Amino acid sequence: MSEIQLNDPQTLYRRWEEGQWSPFEVDLSVDREQWPAIDPDVREIIHFALSSLMVAEERITTKFTGLVAAYGSEEEATFLSTQQVDEARHMQFYARFRGEVIADPQAIAAHVEKARESVSDSFRHIFDEALVEAHEELVANPGDLAAKVRFVTLYHLVLESTLGLTSFKFITDYLGAEGLLPGFVEGYSKIHHDETRHIGYGI
| pLDDT value of residue 67 | 94
Query: What CATH number does residue 117 fall under?
Result: 1.10.620.20
Report the alpha-carbon distance of residue 168 to residue 23 in Å, rounded.
17
Contact, 202 vs 76, CB < 8 A? no
| pLDDT value of residue 191 | 94
Q: Is 17 among the domain residues?
A: no
| pLDDT value of residue 103 | 75
Structural domains in the chain (count): 1
| pLDDT value of residue 66 | 93
DSSP for 37-75, please give it: GS-HHHHHHHHHHHHHHHHHHHHHHHS-HHHHHT-SSHH
| pLDDT value of residue 146 | 96
| pLDDT value of residue 42 | 87
Local mean pLDDT, 10-residue blocks, the chain (203 residues): 69 92 97 93 84 81 90 93 91 88 69 70 85 94 95 92 89 94 96 92 90
Report the alpha-carbon distance of residue 41 to residue 65 in Å, rounded.
38
Could you tell me where the DSSP H helices lie in the chain? Answer: 9-18, 29-34, 40-62, 65-69, 74-100, 108-116, 121-124, 131-140, 145-152, 166-178, 182-202
Q: Is 19 among the domain residues?
A: no
Q: Is 4 among the domain residues?
A: no
Q: Is 152 among the domain residues?
A: yes
Contact, 175 vs 40, CB < 8 A? no
pTM of the model: 0.85
Q: Is 14 among the domain residues?
A: no
Q: Give me the domain span that covers residue 167.
A: 28-202
